[in-house]
C-alpha cells in the first residue's frame, strides 16, 4: 500500500507555451423541408451534438432525448441515432443550443480562489484566472477547496467531465500534504489500511508515503475519492492539521512548466490520453 514519493513526483517550473487550437468546420447535408430530418450518413448524432454543446455526456443525452427534452426544428425527437444536419435548430428544454469547439484548459490553482463558476458572496473564483483561455464557456472538472492549490482542469466537454469525476474510472490524483507535525508510522499504516474509516465510511487510499528527503510532516497521498475535503478529514481525524495541500498530478497531467496561477491548453496527445481512461 505504501508508495515512495519524491520531489520528482511534484514538479514545478515556468509557464509552458499555450497551444493554439483551430476550429474545424463540420460538413452536413442541408435538409430544411423535411421536419423529420432524414438521417443520412452525414451529420452529427444528436447525443453527440448535445454533448458538444456542453450540456451533459452522450449517455445522459440519450436519457434526455428519450424523455422528450430535445427538439429539432420544432419537432420532438426521441429517436436514438438521429443525426442533425447543418442549419437545423436544436433546442434543449426549449433553449437553442450549438455544438462548440471542445476546449481543455489546465490551471495551477493558487490559494484563496473557490472552484465555482460564480459566487454570490463576491469571493474570487477560479473562472477569473482562466477568463482569457477560451471564448467558449468552460467549467471546472471537480473541485479544489479554497485553500487547496494545484491542478484543476476546465472543459466544455460534458462527456469528459462525467468520465473524470466518476469514481468507477479511478482517475489518479496525487497530493502533496504538509502537516503541522510529523506523521507517526503507526498513523501512516492506519490510514493506508483498507479498513480505515471517516464518518463511518471506509476510505480507500491508493498510495501513501513520506516524501523522500523531506521531513516526516511532508506526505504524498494518492486517492481517487471525490468526497468533500476528504484528505483534510483523514489527517484531522488523527489529530493533525493540514498546513498545505497541493494537487500535483491529475489523470496523468502534471504541473511541469506551469507556475501557480497560470493555465495552459492541453496538447492533443494529453486529450487523447484522457479519452482512453
List, by residue number, the catalytic residues: 145
Residue 125 grid coordinates = 473564483
Non-local CB neighbours of 77 within 8 Å, separated by 6+ positions: 37, 46, 65, 70, 71
The alpha carbon of residue 168 and the mean position of all alpha carbons in its chain are separated, in whole angstroms, by 14
Dist. CA 159–CA 149, nearest whole Å: 25
Handedness of CA 11, 204, 213, 178 (dihedral sign): positive
- Exposure string of 137-164, with b = 16+ CB inside 10 Å and e = fewer, is ebebbebbeeebbbbbbbbbbbbbbbbb
Helices 58-66 & 158-165 angle (0-180, nearest 10): 110
Could you give the CA distance from residue 146 to residue 123 in angstroms, rounded to a whole number?
10
- Sorted by sequence, the CB contacts under 8 Å of residue 200 that are 6+ apart come out as none
Amino acid at each position: 500500500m505504501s508508495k515512495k514519493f519524491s520531489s520528482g513526483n511534484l514538479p514545478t517550473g515556468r509557464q509552458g507555451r499555450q497551444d493554439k487550437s483551430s476550429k474545424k468546420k463540420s460538413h452536413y447535408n442541408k435538409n430544411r423541408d423535411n421536419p423529420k430530418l432524414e438521417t443520412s450518413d452525414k451529420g452529427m448524432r444528436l447525443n453527440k451534438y448535445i454533448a458538444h454543446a456542453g450540456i451533459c455526456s452522450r449517455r445522459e443525452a440519450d436519457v434526455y432525448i428519450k424523455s422528450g427534452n430535445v427538439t429539432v426544428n420544432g419537432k420532438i425527437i426521441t429517436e436514438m441515432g438521429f443525426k442533425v444536419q447543418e442549419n437545423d435548430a436544436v433546442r434543449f428544454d426549449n433553449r437553442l443550443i450549438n455544438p462548440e469547439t471542445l476546449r481543455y484548459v489546465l490551471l495551477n490553482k493558487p490559494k484563496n480562489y473557490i472552484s465555482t463558476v460564480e459566487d454570490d458572496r463576491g469571493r474570487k473564483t477560479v473562472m477569473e484566472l482562466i477568463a482569457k483561455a477560451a471564448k467558449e464557456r468552460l467549467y471546472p472538472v471537480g473541485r479544489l477547496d479554497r485553500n487547496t492549490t494545484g491542478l484543476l482542469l476546465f472543459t466544455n466537454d460534458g462527456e469528459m467531465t462525467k468520465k473524470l469525476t466518476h469514481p468507477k474510472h479511478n482517475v489518479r490524483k496525487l497530493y502533496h500534504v504538509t502537516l503541522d507535525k510529523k506523521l507517526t508510522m503507526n498513523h501512516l499504516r492506519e490510514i493506508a489500511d483498507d479498513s480505515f474509516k471517516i464518518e463511518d465510511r471506509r476510505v480507500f487510499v491508493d498510495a501513501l508515503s513520506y516524501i523522500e528527503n523531506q521531513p516526516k510532516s511532508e506526505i504524498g497521498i494518492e486517492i481517487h475519492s471525490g468526497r468533500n475535503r476528504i484528505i483534510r478529514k483523514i489527517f484531522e481525524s488523527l489529530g493533525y492539521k493540514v498546513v498545505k495541500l497541493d494537487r500535483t498530478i491529475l489523470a496523468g497531467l502534471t504541473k511541469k512548466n506551469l507556475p501557480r496561477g497560470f493555465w495552459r491548453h492541453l496538447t492533443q496527445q494529453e486529450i487523447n490520453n484522457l479519452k482512453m481512461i
